[in-house]
Amino acid sequence: MVFSTVFFLFTYFPIVLLLHYITPVHYRNAMLLVVNLIFYGWKKPAYLFIMFASIGIDYVHGLLVEKAKAQGNDRRARRYVAQSVIFNLALLGFFKYWDFIARSLAAVGLGFMPVLGLELPIGISFYTFQTMSYTIDVYRGDAKAQRSMVNFGTFVTLFPQLIAGPILKYKDLADQIDQRDYPVERFASGVQIFVVGLAKKVLLANNIGALWDVYKALPAAQLTTAGAWLGVLCFSLQLYFDFSGYSDMAVGLGKMLGFEFSGNFNYPYAARSITDFWRRWHISLSSWFREYLYFPLGGSRVGRGRLIFNLMVVWSATGIWHGANWNFLLWGVYYGALLILEKLVWGDALKKLPVPVQRVYTLFIVLVGWALFAIEDFSLLGPYLAAMFGAAEGGVLDGAFLYHLRSYLPILAVATVGSTPAVKQVWYKLPEKAQKLACPLLLLAGVLLSTAYLVDGTYNPFLYFQF
């Protein structure tokens, strides 16, 4: 089940909201656990068994870690943490990477691993990271072990963020799991954020994504340089509004249920460097890798050689986390190399350039990176990159490019402006009276237009399902 459907908007969530607020406070987590599991297992109930295993293993290991620490047995505590991490990585590795490894080995004549044809359980990349961080946080003393299995299960399965994040750290949500309040202001804020996210996903991402599908499917002989850049621009905007829209909806739903989640995006296309970009894009994932992988490796407080090693390990892991394919690993290595160069070679010089130049530099690198990310087939990736850099078989531009540009120019313009802080800045400059008048009208328009699109349209992909 996804948020951007008529069924979720007008049936499932209203029922959940009603049940949540009529249920006595003491039993709300139990109620949430039930609706979370229904949400997750809606079309694939078998996935629930994997979820139960993850909940059970990490719940027990959290208690064992805390007990060992209380007894002063740090060695045993570390062993329990290692068991939890190994279990979660094994779970993720089996379902996400077994077939990828088997096919890769078979391609070089090593066919000893059978291809199992496994389906990727939805959201497994997100909830395994959350439960892994739980036992680590308990070991570090950053959080107490959760005594209630219901409360722990609620944390793991919390449906607003279950299938696409943001990735929650238990230590940041522990107090809210055990006890939370429900101010009207938080609920109202949640409604606003949810509707904005819905409009971003349905009205912008879906429409722009249709043009990317056109260019992605073009034979190399028909691809022009201008078309290749237009296509990857569309993908970059589609991905941003798809994922940030879904993250906004998650934050909004959380607020309506009494939770406060951190934002996952901060206008990444306004970044002035690649380092700055990754402080703004998928913030919860970057934060997770920084805290649980980069810092334990030594972070940046090491020699140059070890710094290069640390960054390449982290970014290789970041790349392959996104998908079981070589292009994702290449994409991760690409960013690892660029971040190393910014830190060690040209970062200081970049800061001295005019801000527009910094942003053009960043956008250029990011757009090339999205081509690596979006095209999984290397036989198609090579010609596409060649076309972007002037070696297009179809020439520089053609009539099809001009037609698509004219057709999509209004929505591309809206999306481009919407991906920057400009709209927000203008909004906050309006008089308070104008804001109060315009806000409900804009929200109503967002709901009505999004609903109309969902009722009429058939194109409603969700890009982060694969992760």
Distance in angstroms (rounded) separating the CA atoms of residues 290 and 88: 18
Asked if 257 and 347 touch (Cβ cutoff 8 Å), the reply is no
Residue 267 Rama label (left phi>0; alpha psi -120 to 50; beta): left
Instruction: Read off the tokens for 159.
Output: 């449906």
CB within 8 A of 465, min separation 6: which ones? 122, 163, 164
Say how many residues make up the chain.
467
> 307-320 as b/e, with b when 16 or more CB fall inside 10 Å?
bbebbbebbbebbb
Whether 20 is catalytic is no
**Residue tagged active-site, from 20, 61, 282, 322:** 322
Distance in angstroms (rounded) separating the CA atoms of residues 172 and 190: 19
**Which residue in this structure is represented by tokens 């929650």?**
168
Number of H helices, E strands in the chain: 23, 0
Asked if 366 and 236 touch (Cβ cutoff 8 Å), the reply is yes
Cα three-residue angle 154-155-156, rounded to 5 degrees: 95
CB within 8 A of 438, min separation 6: which ones? 430
What are the catalytic residues?
Answer: 322
